[in-house]
Structure 1
Amino acid sequence: MYHDEGIAHLILSGKFIGYLPEHYASYWVDKGLFKTILPQQYRYQIPVALITSNNHSGSPLAQAMIDAIKQCYSFEK
């Protein structure tokens, strides 16, 4: 998200708490600068959508990326 860096800086100031994606916050968690607060209670899921054109001729790189994303998530047509 576009505002994660700003939220991280506010949290690093020691005067704020906030939500950050686990993959983003893990850098500071591993260094002991952030900690989770009741992670089972204060968490949320963000849906992921993949949109492609039905008639695209797609490059091999684009197709590889689409395939990798599909392997990570369950997509429905």
Structure 2
Amino acid sequence: MVNRYSEQCVLYPCELAMLQRVFDEIRADGWHDAAVDAEMLAAELLGLFQNGLASEAALLAEMQSRQHINLLRTG
């Protein structure tokens, strides 16, 4: 199970909306590994945001890159 409360994080509505758009894009575009559940994907996305990737384009590019690498590893 993902530890959802590892850090206190306050998100503004515009930030939450941006994260939701990136999440939806990743889930819709086929780059995600079907074995990765939504909670794990959301936790990874939030972690990137909390560590400084704050633009929608940067988050999307990083998530796509990570998913592509994971797909290559698993075949």
- Give the TM-score range, shorter chain: under 0.3
- Per the normalisation by structure 1, the TM-score is 0.22
- Per the normalisation by structure 2, the TM-score is 0.23
Higher Cα radius of gyration? 1
